[in-house]
Amino acid sequence: MKPNKHVIRSRNLAALAAAGLMLVLGCVEEVDIRTDAEAIAEVRNALVVEATLTDELRTQEVILSRPADFENDTIIKFDEKDPATGLYGIQDPNIRPILYVSGAAVAVEDDNGGNYAFTEGDPGRYFSNQPFAAQMGLQYRLKVTLPGGTEIRSEFESLAGNASLTGLRAERSTDPLLGEGIRFSIDGDAGTSGPAYLRYTFAETFKVIAPLWTPEDLLLTYYDPCADPVEYAIDIVARTREEQVCYRTEASESIIQSTTEGLAGGQIRNLPVHFLPQEAYKIAHRYSILVRQHVEDLNAYLYFDRLRNFSQEGNVFAQVQPGDLQGNMQAENRGDVNVIGYFSVASVSERRIFLNYGDLFPGEPEPPYIVECRVTSSLTSHPSRCPKVPNPDSGGGCPLSVIELLDLGDIIKYVGIVNEFNGSDFLASDPPIECPGEYIYTSRVCGDCTVLGSNVPPDFWIEN
């Protein structure tokens, strides 16, 4: 089979695996997608393995998870009309649930007697106990033992060669579907006379500035909702941590592949790896992208190619035969665990660039924030009541009071005092404020950047 040079764009591996497994294991007939209990059980019993051993001297990582099926596919969205009810805590929009597998024993062994043990850090994420790098001429195998005793083994894999990522640039461009924006393209050198098979990943890091941040916040103390009248104290206090400027990093949810087969001198030129529309909030201020190039073998290349085919919308109506998504891992002592994924050993080359929005769009309005931010107000207190359960109807049709919102946790942020905040314009807002009180506030995501990122700059971060 001769692969064609192409770029693959798709979602994360766990989501792709779920879609692919539903097709592969279901022997799907035309226009008939299996969602019965048997198919769902097959999906839930699958193990998704994400593991790429690289030639970098670093802590290597293996991720184990179960794919989320159609019954467990949740999307968190913002209520654009009332952002205070939208994004709370560390939740983000458009996050699919990932069912991580904990308690496994993970190791990598080579054919020269070397063995590298891994320890679970975050749930489902296993890190090598010591940094190590894949060596040319050695073969490596991944070993996983699940909590129930099932043993998973990969085939032996080795480095397929070296290739250099020689250039990464950002250019203002136009996408037929996304419109005006920024295109990120790379150049590469295969460094070999034969064809090279390449896979690209990227990580975006960008500055987030909370648009309605103020240096002060509200502090609720002595709250007793059962007293008559209700007892409480509210103080306006200085914020004690950085919540205006943060930094967010997002790993790519794309599989991007290319090959140098048929290219003169094994040179890759101007290969697009990412596109951001001009209205993307992540480029509103300062932005950085790190692109990593993995040299993989033909089998890995074809595996991810098939995975991409299964994920495409039109393919759910095609005839799919079992075994089409065969990777290089399998359960050795139990046949009831379906393993999805490919253990690859890759040489890696990477490049990073920084940019400011004004570099490519000078003098143009910045992109909007991730949500539309509004300020609002409500009554400060509420009638006496027990038990201590917030009741939207307790205020005669008014929204929850300020003290009720503060008692619920960190979901609102103080903006100002009504009579000091262009009172007439504020009270005449659209939609109108139904029950204004003393304080003006906004949803936490609009006044606290730590909802979206870390208030500590990454080690690699540089300004201008």
List the alpha helices (DSSP H) in 272-415: 298-311, 357-360, 402-408
Give the per-residue pLDDT at 444.
94
Closest CA to 247 of 462, 395, 100, 26: 462
Give the per-residue pLDDT at 87.
39
Residue keyed to tokens 């805590």? 89
Q: pLDDT grade, residue 67 (50/70/90)?
A: confident
Residues 49 and 146: beta-carbon distance below 8 Å? no
Q: Measure the CA–CA gap between 351 and 193, rounded to whole angstroms.
A: 24
Give the per-residue pLDDT at 391.
59
In the predicted structure, residue 15 carries a pLDDT above the cut 60: no
In the predicted structure, residue 45 carries a pLDDT above the cut 80: no
Q: How is residue 365 written in tokens? A: 């309005």
Q: Measure the CA–CA gap between 63 and 367, rounded to whole angstroms.
A: 34
Phi/psi of residue 149, nearest 5 degrees: 105, -10
Q: pLDDT grade, residue 71 (50/70/90)?
A: very low
Residues 308 and 17: beta-carbon distance below 8 Å? no
Most confident of 192-196, 331-335, 350-354: 350-354
Q: Say which residue, 367 or 340, is predicted with more confidence.
A: 367
Give the per-residue pLDDT at 315.
41
Q: pLDDT grade, residue 390 (50/70/90)?
A: low
Q: What is the dihedral of CA 439, 445, 449, 450, to 10 degrees?
A: 110
Q: By percentage, how much of the chain surpasses pLDDT 90?
A: 53
DSSP letter for 127, please. E
Closest CA to 329 of 112, 12, 64: 64
The whole-model pTM stands at 0.80
DSSP letter for 316, please. G
Strand partners, 236: 218
Give the per-residue pLDDT at 334.
60
Q: Say which residue, 210 or 267, is predicted with more confidence.
A: 210
Give the per-residue pLDDT at 32.
40
Pairing mode, strands 339-356 and 47-54:
parallel
**Max CA-CA distance within the chain?**
85
Name the least confident of 277-291, 349-363, 423-437.
Answer: 423-437
pLDDT tens-digit map of 90-146:
334 444 567 889 999 999 999 999 999 999 999 999 999 999 999 999 999 999 999
Q: How is residue 156 written in tokens? A: 């032996």
56, 131, 215, 258, 463 from 82: Cα distances, Å: 47, 48, 23, 44, 35
Mean pLDDT rounded to a whole number for the chain: 81
Q: At what angle are helices 37-44 and 13-26 packed, to 10 degrees?
A: 140
Q: What is the DSSP string of 180-231?
A: EEEEEEEEEE--SSS--EEEEEEEEEEEEE-TT--SEEEEEEEEETTSSSPE
